[in-house]
């Protein structure tokens, strides 16, 4: 297993270099970013001075190799907009997104599994039809629209939840301020509730369908029939025998989803004024803040790679047929 | 009480506290919802309007210009300008203090200017990037404790107003800080100091203890709420007192809420369709046609600007007559009416009759997306109006920041392009200096009419305001008749304002809350 982990980590270096290269080129396609950092009344000399100051006067390959060289020393450069180390800006926004992602996964998986299991157990009944109809609705509704509707109904009309904003939990926790972190926890969850549901609805619907089809497949297997014929309780058959095997595709999906959500919640972060990494990167791309984009890309790639690795390890653990 | 009940009670308390926290801001606090993130508190790097609105509460300026364009003293109480117009000597008020407790002196003011100019600092904000390049700033020096002299390379009739945009900060504190530290720890001399900044979320300012402070509220909370409908919801719910950039389609909802109203003001930003007259564009389809001033004038009649304002911007506007904001415009000019028949007649006379396919000439029309109010719909409407009089429009709407801005800055956009440029009310020359020279970076059209450009020397040659005004009016007449812009409107700004505060919106996009309080 250790050889497998080492090989995967080595592969990840190539992946990270690849994504930094692609993002670097993508940001350069629009033309010289210098113009975003000079006044419209700047003279050619002033534009040239700013271009030099920002390092955009160097050939592209030199800029990129310089970035890679600094990256090896853990230096992502200074944000062009914030004028602070780019990695600090990104790390400052990451905990908020992780909070949102974790809670939305929790909402998604916590509800998808019972929904999927019940739909499978009561296949063809009104309960199954109802759950699958709701699941289809969840997959069809754009999450930004759902978010705005939740704001208007649950936030503005019923006043049950805050309309927007964020109370940090992970950031003070990571900074070692346990009192602040746990003091904030109830409010953090309160503020997270609506965005987490808006983010999690799509994957909840998809996972419920996945669990249902997986359960249906498993429930028809010989070993389930054998378990029942041994006189085991229905609970034991479902939870300990059927569900354990039905889990496998769901675990894979959750791992992938976690990675996608961390970088892909920009719309919901914008709708709920949530200060996470998606919004940060979106703004950085618009402002051509290349160091921030690159720092985020590297960080998110590493998170994605690690998550995939963890999923593979879990997969091997819960399915003895899989050898690493 | 069992552990479960305790937890339930704690949860209920938290929710109750949360609900309380979501209620109207306290009586000594005003909350503002902004549409864009702010990035820095480094005074020499601030460039966006939202960022500047917050910073202005922390940093004083030598003079102040009101929303109506009236000049009032701020940190300085007197100004003397040398006869050659190259030296501005400001006298600071007595008893000024920095937020770090030190006295604010002329040395701090001179330091502010020279620090922003220092190339080692690599600043790119409004002060070094716009003010200094516009006025030809050379250096600043403290003559004594209260008098600071600003030295310019050339005489500039609008230098005074531009110098009033520079945020004065405090030498002792800034010399101790690295540039990193300075970007998050502003030490100014304004009525408020920074209490906290949660990046991407909110900025809290608290009032500086000073019996002479003009500030009414103890705290100002600036919340970053990018989504327009969320901002409106927060305003209607009473969680913020003021929001900027209300979407036109949400105005009725805010006004019907009973808790807030929308203040619509005609802003100073001049919206226009530019005609790129440069040689490379002359060779493109339509490029030759727009070289003719008669064609450009004909197209002025083709677009129904008041209808665009009303239908797409939810605002009754008066069409612009030129490059200068209405109070300072040539008052003898009247906006071009919407008269498509006149447009067609003039195009015929100019030698561009409709062909067998009904098309006079084809032309590309470029625009950016998402920068101006309802911009995509506006350019689509303009394109349709132009097609109605026989043009075949190739509409090219592109991403604003990464694609359109570089094209604009390189003056490489067109032949038709949609743009808005910031203006001011305190001087017509401020608005006109976009076209100070043929090769000016802001002369995106490459217009070169000597009846405009040669007159700048005439303006510089006289200090008589009446004579200057006469020259300005003549230049504006040329711009109206044969200029390189299809005149549109001054972009309206919509502010949502809670019924509990007495905020009055300004036309220049500045949100200054010094005199704002509760009703």
CATH 1.10.3720.10 matches A86-323:
yes
CA distance B8 to A315: 37
Q: Give the model's pLDDT for residue B10.
A: 43
E strand or H helix that includes residue B139 = strand B137-142
CA distance B441 to B406: 12
- Residues of B (214-253) whose Cβ lies below 8 Å from A: 223-227, 229-230, 233-234, 236-237, 239
Contacts of A50 in chain B (CB under 8 A): 122, 124, 129
B421 touches chain A (CB under 8 A): yes
Contacts of A276 in chain B (CB under 8 A): 200
Joined tokens for residue B115: 């620090």
Report, as ranges of residue numbers, the positions in chain B whose pLDDT lies below 50. 1-4, 6-21
∠ CA A197-A202-A204, rounded to 5°: 75
Distance from CA of B141 to the nearest CA of A (A): 23
A7 burial (CB, 10 Å; 0-12 / 13-18 / 19+) is: exposed
Distance from CA of A165 to the nearest CA of B (A): 7
Short-list B22, B20, B24, B33, CA closest to B500: B24
Helix axes A178-219, A143-150, angle to 10 degrees: 130
Joined tokens for residue A205: 């619907």
Q: Give the model's pLDDT for residue B15.
A: 44
Joined tokens for residue B176: 């101790």
**pTM across the whole model:** 0.84
CB atoms B133 and A46 under 8 Å: yes
CB atoms A35 and B406 under 8 Å: yes
Q: Give the model's pLDDT for residue B12.
A: 45
Select the residue from B13, B31, B39 to test the A interface by mutation, using most A Cβ atoms within 10 A: B39
Instruction: Report strand pairing: B260-275 vs B416-421.
Output: antiparallel
Q: Among B202, B230, B406, whose Cβ lies nearest the Cβ of A163?
A: B230
CB atoms B442 and A280 under 8 Å: no
Q: How many CB pairs under 8 A join A and B?
A: 165
CB atoms B223 and A35 under 8 Å: no
Nearest residue of A to residue B400, measured between CA atoms: A286
Q: Is it the case that residue A101 has pLDDT exceeding 80?
A: yes
CB atoms B409 and A35 under 8 Å: yes
CA distance B243 to B34: 6
Q: Is it the case that residue A46 has pLDDT exceeding 80?
A: no
Distance from CA of B20 to the nearest CA of A (A): 10
Instruction: Report strand pairing: B71-73 vs B63-65.
Output: antiparallel
Strand partners of residue B495: B263
Distance from CA of B234 to the nearest CA of A (A): 7
CA distance B226 to B127: 26
CA distance B475 to B321: 12
- Residues of B (289-328) whose Cβ lies below 8 Å from A: none
CA atoms within 13 A on the CB side of B479: 28
Contacts of B400 in chain A (CB under 8 A): 286
Q: Tell me if residue B7 falls in helix, strand or coil.
A: helix
Strand partners of residue B361: B391
Instruction: For residues A240-246, give the mean pLDDT.
Output: 83
Q: Give the model's pLDDT for residue B99.
A: 92
B119 touches chain A (CB under 8 A): yes
Q: Is it the case that residue A14 has pLDDT exceeding 90?
A: no
Contact A34, A47 (CB under 8 A): yes
Q: Tell me if residue B149 falls in helix, strand or coil.
A: strand
Q: Give the model's pLDDT for residue B17.
A: 42
- DSSP H helical ranges for A156-273: 170-174, 178-219, 222-229, 234-236, 243-264, 266-271
Joined tokens for residue A167: 């109370």
Q: Give the model's pLDDT for residue B259.
A: 94
Distance from CA of A280 to the nearest CA of B (A): 8
Joined tokens for residue A150: 């939740």
Task: Please state the domain extents for chain A.
Answer: 2-72, 86-323
Q: What's the ipTM?
A: 0.81
Distance from CA of B116 to the nearest CA of A (A): 13
Q: Among A156, A271, A280, whose Cβ lies nearest the Cβ of B227?
A: A271
Contacts of B198 in chain A (CB under 8 A): 168, 275
CA distance B454 to B445: 17
CA distance A125 to A139: 21
Q: Tell me if residue B398 falls in helix, strand or coil.
A: strand
- Residues of B (152-191) whose Cβ lies below 8 Å from A: 179-180, 183-184
Q: Give the model's pLDDT for residue A311.
A: 78
Alpha carbon separation from B191 to A221, A240, B54, B101, B167 (Å, rounded)? 75, 67, 12, 13, 13
Contact B500, B24 (CB under 8 A): yes
Joined tokens for residue B231: 């901002």
Q: Among B183, B200, B442, whose Cβ lies nearest the Cβ of A40?
A: B442
Which residues in B23-100 belong to E strands, given as ranges?
29-34, 63-65, 71-73, 76-81, 87-92
- Residues of B (22-81) whose Cβ lies below 8 Å from A: 22, 37, 39-40, 42, 45, 47
- Residue given tokens 């990018």 in the structure block: B226
Distance from CA of A239 to the nearest CA of B (A): 27
CB atoms A40 and B224 under 8 Å: no
Q: What is the dihedral of CA B76, B77, B82, B86, to 10 degrees?
A: 20
Distance from CA of A167 to the nearest CA of B (A): 10
Q: Give the model's pLDDT for residue B14.
A: 43
Alpha carbon separation from B279 to A43, A230, B260, B350, B436 (Å, rounded)? 21, 89, 52, 20, 20
Note the Cα A220 to chain centre separation in Å: 34
B226 burial (CB, 10 Å; 0-12 / 13-18 / 19+) is: buried
pLDDT in tens, B24-48: 788 899 999 998 888 899 999 888 8
B95 burial (CB, 10 Å; 0-12 / 13-18 / 19+) is: exposed
Short-list B280, B242, B142, B269, CA closest to B497: B242
Q: Among B234, B433, B441, whose Cβ lies nearest the Cβ of A163?
A: B234
Q: Tell me if residue B72 falls in helix, strand or coil.
A: strand
pLDDT in tens, A126-178: 998 998 888 888 888 888 899 999 999 999 999 999 999 999 999 999 989 99
Alpha carbon separation from A75 to A10, A86, B130 (Å, rounded)? 21, 9, 31
Distance from CA of B183 to the nearest CA of A (A): 7
Strand partners of residue B90: B79, B148
E strand or H helix that includes residue B193 = strand B192-198
Q: Give the model's pLDDT for residue A322.
A: 65
CB atoms A40 and B421 under 8 Å: yes
Select the residue from B20, B178, B200, B238 to test the A interface by mutation, using most A Cβ atoms within 10 A: B200
Contacts of B403 in chain A (CB under 8 A): 30-31
Lowest mean pLDDT among A36-50, A88-102, B213-227: A36-50
Instruction: For residues A312-317, give the mean pLDDT.
Output: 76
Short-list A104, A89, A99, A273, CA closest to A171: A99
CB atoms B407 and A31 under 8 Å: yes
Contacts of A188 in chain B (CB under 8 A): none
Q: Is it the case that residue A20 has pLDDT exceeding 90?
A: no
Contact B473, B304 (CB under 8 A): no
CA distance B479 to B484: 7
């Amino acid at each position: 297993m250790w050889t497998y982990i080492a090989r995967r980590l080595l592969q990840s270096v190539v992946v990270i270099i690849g994504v930094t290269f692609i993002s670097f080129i993508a940001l350069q396609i629009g033309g010289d970013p210098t113009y975003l950092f000079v006044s419209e009344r700047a003279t050619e000399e002033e534009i040239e001075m700013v271009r030099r100051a920002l390092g955009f006067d160097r050939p592209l390959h030199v800029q990129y190799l310089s970035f890679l060289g600094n990256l090896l020393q853990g230096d992502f450069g200074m944000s062009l907009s914030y004028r602070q180390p780019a990695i600090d800006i990104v790390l400052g926004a990451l905990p908020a997104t992780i909070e949102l992602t974790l809670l939305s996964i929790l909402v998604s998986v916590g509800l998808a599994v019972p929904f999927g299991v019940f739909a499978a157990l009561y296949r063809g009944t009104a309960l199954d039809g109802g759950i699958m109809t709701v699941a289809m609705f969840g997959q069809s509704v754009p999450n930004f629209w759902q978010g705005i509707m939740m704001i208007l109904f649950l936030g503005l009309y019923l006043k049950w939840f805050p309309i927007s904003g964020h109370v940090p939990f992970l950031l003070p926790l990571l900074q070692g301020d346990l009192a602040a972190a746990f003091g904030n926890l109830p409010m953090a969850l309160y503020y997270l509730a609506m965005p987490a549901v808006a983010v999690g609805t799509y994957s909840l619907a998809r996972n419920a369908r996945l669990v249902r089809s997986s359960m249906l497949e498993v429930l028809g297997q010989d070993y389930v029939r054998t378990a029942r014929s041994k006189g085991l309780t229905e609970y034991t058959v479902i939870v300990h025998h059927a569900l354990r095997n039905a889990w496998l595709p769901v675990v894979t999906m959750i791992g992938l989803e976690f990675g996608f959500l961390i970088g892909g919640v920009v719309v919901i972060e914008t709708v709920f004024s949530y200060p996470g990494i998606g919004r940060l990167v979106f703004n950085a791309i618009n402002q051509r803040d290349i160091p921030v984009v690159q720092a985020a890309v590297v960080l998110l790639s590493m998170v994605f790679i690690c998550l995939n690795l963890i999923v593979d390890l879990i997969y091997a653990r819960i399915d003895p047929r899989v050898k690493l | 009480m069992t552990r479960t009940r305790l937890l339930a009670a704690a949860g209920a308390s938290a929710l109750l506290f949360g609900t309380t926290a979501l209620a109207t801001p306290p009586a000594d606090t005003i909350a503002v919802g902004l549409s864009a993130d702010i990035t820095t508190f480094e005074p020499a790097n601030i460039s966006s309007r939202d960022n500047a609105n917050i910073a202005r509460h922390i940093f004083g300026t030598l003079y102040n210009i009101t929303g109506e364009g009236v000049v009032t003293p701020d940190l300085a109480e007197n100004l003397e300008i040398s006869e050659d117009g190259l030296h501005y000597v400001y006298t600071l008020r007595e008893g000024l203090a920095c937020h770090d407790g030190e006295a604010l002196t002329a040395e701090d003011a001179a330091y502010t200017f020279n620090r922003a100019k220092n190339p080692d600092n690599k600043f790119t904000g409004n002060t070094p990037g716009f003010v200094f390049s516009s006025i030809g700033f050379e250096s600043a020096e403290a003559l004594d404790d209260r008098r600071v002299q600003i030295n310019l390379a050339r005489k500039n009739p609008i230098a005074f107003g531009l110098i009033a945009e520079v945020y004065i900060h405090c030498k002792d504190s800034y010399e101790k800080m690295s540039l990193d530290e300075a970007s998050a720890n502003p030490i100014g001399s304004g009525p408020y100091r920074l209490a906290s900044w949660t990046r991407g979320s909110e900025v809290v300012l608290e009032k500086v203890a000073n019996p002479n402070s003009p500030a009414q509220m103890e705290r100002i909370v600036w919340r970053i709420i990018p989504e327009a409908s969320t901002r409106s919801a927060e305003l209607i719910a009473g969680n913020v007192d003021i929001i900027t950039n209300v979407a036109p389609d949400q105005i009725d909802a805010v006004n019907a809420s009973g808790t807030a109203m929308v203040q619509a003001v005609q802003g100073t930003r001049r919206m226009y369709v530019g005609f790129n007259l440069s040689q490379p564009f002359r060779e493109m389809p339509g490029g030759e046609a727009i070289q003719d001033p008669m064609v450009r004038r004909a197209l002025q009649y083709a677009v129904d600007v008041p209808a665009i304002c009303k239908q797409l911007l939810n605002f009754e506007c008066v069409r612009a007559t030129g490059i200068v904001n209405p109070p300072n415009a040539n008052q003898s000019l009247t906006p071009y009416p919407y008269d498509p028949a006149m447009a067609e007649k003039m195009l015929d006379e100019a030698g561009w009759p409709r062909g067998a396919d009904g098309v006079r000439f084809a032309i590309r029309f470029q625009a950016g997306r998402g920068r101006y109010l309802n911009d995509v719909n506006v350019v689509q409407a303009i394109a349709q109006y132009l097609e109605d009089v026989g043009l075949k429009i190739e509409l090219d709407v592109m991403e604003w920041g990464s694609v359109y801005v570089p094209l604009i800055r390189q003056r490489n956009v067109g032949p038709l392009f949609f743009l808005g440029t910031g203006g001011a009310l305190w001087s017509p020359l401020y608005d006109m200096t976009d076209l100070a020279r043929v090769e000016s970076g802001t002369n995106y059209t490459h217009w070169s009419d000597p009846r405009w450009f040669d007159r700048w020397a005439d303006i510089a040659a006289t200090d008589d305001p009446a004579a200057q005004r006469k020259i300005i009016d003549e230049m504006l007449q040329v711009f109206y008749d044969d200029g390189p812009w299809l005149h549109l409107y001054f972009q309206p700004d919509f502010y949502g304002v809670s019924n509990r505060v007495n905020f009055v919106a300004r036309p220049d996009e500045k949100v200054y809350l010094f005199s704002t309080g509760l009703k």
